[in-house]
Amino acid sequence: MRRVVTTLSYLLAGVIIVIGGLIYICYRPLNLLMFAWSKKLECYEWLIFIREMASLSIPNWVIYALPDGLWTCSYIIFVGAIWNFDLYTCWTIAMIIPTIGIISELLQGIHMVSGYFDWYDLLAYFLGGTVGLSYIYIINKYIKRNENKI
Amino acid sequence: MKTKFKFRSIASVGCVLFFLLLAVATGSDDKDSKAPTKTEKKATKPVSEPDIEKEPEEPQYEEPIEIYNSSEDENASDDEEEVITITNASDDDEL
């Protein structure tokens, strides 16, 4: 049971990363580092091909804030799956990326880091972290209940 | 038990590094261009007409000259007066 849930959690986290990555590939400008790196890795044409297929008009918060929240949630799910969904053990590691994200966003607000402060980014980090931690907590409860039944 | 803990620690560090790499990869390559790529609210300069095309308003150096057409006084009523106003004689033909 635990193995199935762990495998599914890894898959879920991977899908979330891919969704966030597709939003970046399809809708973000081409001056991002990832596009420069893709040229060196000779997969730039593939990214442009995917980009040309994107035709939906989506709100700005989906383009600029949602991927950050998705990746935060995905990171926490990965860490939770690694540590058997034991929140007591892994919460410090799970909070590393959300904390870095929130601090960097606040530093952008006081111009100590290059970039622009955006409330939506802050909200995305917070919600992504909350959803991820809630997922670990719920899965842990679910696994323990099933193990007690056996 | 210790092996598991080691494996999990290494995997956690790898996870952190991967997501940090993701954050770096999705950063802008050109610092100056980051301003217009954020939300529309972050637009630094509103679109406006270039100042070159605007012509400064010419000050009126001459007061408008009002000429009453006296030849038509007999036909016109007392209330109606035809006033010809000349302002800023830019066109010599009119004068």
The 3-state secondary structure of chain A reads CHHHHHHHHHHHHHHHHHHHHHHHHHHCCCCEHHHHHHHHCCCHHHHHHHHHHCCCCCCHHHHHCHHHHHHHHHHHHHHHHHCCCCHHHHHHHHCHHHHHHHHHHHHHHCCCCCCCCCHHHHHHHHHHHHHHHHHHHHHHHHHHHHHHHC
Query: From the list B15, B29, B35, which residue is nearest A78 (CB)?
Result: B15
Decide if A67 and B11 are in contact by the 8 Å CB cutoff.
no
Q: Quick check: A69 and A132 in contact, CB under 8 A?
A: no
The continuous run of DSSP H or E covering B25 comes out as: helix B2-25
Measured between alpha carbons, how far is A140 from A9 in angstroms, rounded to an integer?
12
Q: Give the model's pLDDT for residue B40.
A: 44
Q: What is the pTM (predicted TM-score) of this model?
A: 0.69
Decide if A115 and B34 are in contact by the 8 Å CB cutoff.
yes
Residue type, A15: V
Q: Give the model's pLDDT for residue B43.
A: 40
With contacts defined as CB-CB under 8 Å, which chain A residues touch B25?
32-34, 37
Q: Give the model's pLDDT for residue A35.
A: 82
**Per-residue pLDDT tens listing for chain B (95 residues):** 678 889 999 999 999 999 999 888 887 665 444 444 444 444 444 444 455 555 666 665 666 766 666 554 455 445 555 677 766 655 555 44
Q: Give the model's pLDDT for residue A138.
A: 93
Q: Quick check: B66 and B84 in contact, CB under 8 A?
A: yes
Q: Give the model's pLDDT for residue A18.
A: 92
Reported ipTM: the value is 0.85
- Min Cα distance B51 → chain A (Å) is 29
Which tokens in the block code for residue A144? 């323990």
Query: From the list A32, A37, A90, which residue is nearest B28 (CB)?
Result: A32
Q: Give the model's pLDDT for residue A78.
A: 94
Mean pLDDT in order along chain A per 10 residues (150 residues): 89 93 85 81 83 80 89 94 90 91 87 80 92 93 81
Q: How far is CA B64 from CA A65, B17, B71, B86, in A?
A: 62, 78, 21, 5
Angle at which helices B2-25 and A96-109 cross, to 10°: 30
Decide if A114 and B30 are in contact by the 8 Å CB cutoff.
no
Matching residue, tokens 């904390």: A99
Q: Under DSSP, is residue B17 helix (H, G, I), strand (E, B) or coil?
A: helix
Which tokens in the block code for residue B94? 């009119």
With contacts defined as CB-CB under 8 Å, which chain A residues touch B11?
82
Q: Closest chain A residue to B44 measured between Cα atoms?
A: A116
Measured between alpha carbons, how far is B7 from B13 in angstroms, rounded to an integer?
10
Decide if B39 and A37 are in contact by the 8 Å CB cutoff.
no
